[in-house]
Amino acid sequence: MDAYVFEGVISNTDARNTIYSDPEFGLGNIDGLYYWCAAADNYDRDTGAIDTTTEYYLLIKNHFKDVGLTDEQITGLMGPGTVIFDVTLNVHNAIRTDPNLAQTTGQIDYQQIV
């Protein structure tokens, strides 16, 4: 997973390990992945640009500020064509097709999933 997610975006091994293994926002656990997927789901459908003003995005950015994670790196980890973005699309489609999780608002209520 490490090579697919971080390749070409973050070269610093310590930063990669921190972002992956963090107990609250790390990509290596379901709780952390939740925040990344929620942030990745807020993108411009025309341009693919991630909305960097959402609550989920800002939580990730502020949490990893000591690692030096930049906006460019964050969007590089979760934007279109990335593993996280693809996971988000799969979660999104699963929710849309599961009658127990069906959403009609056009946006996923990620709080409902937890």
pTM here is 0.77
Q: Is the pLDDT reported for residue 105 higher than 80?
A: no
Alpha-carbon 21 to chain mean position: 15
Give me the domain span that covers residue 57: 2-113
Identify residue 71 by its one-letter amino acid code: D
Domain count, the chain: 1
- For 67-83, give the secondary structure using H, E and C: HCCCHHHHHHHHCCCCH
Residue % of the chain over a pLDDT of 90: 30
pLDDT in tens, 15-68: 888 999 999 999 888 889 889 988 988 888 888 889 999 999 999 999 999 998
CB 30 within 8 A of CB 37: no
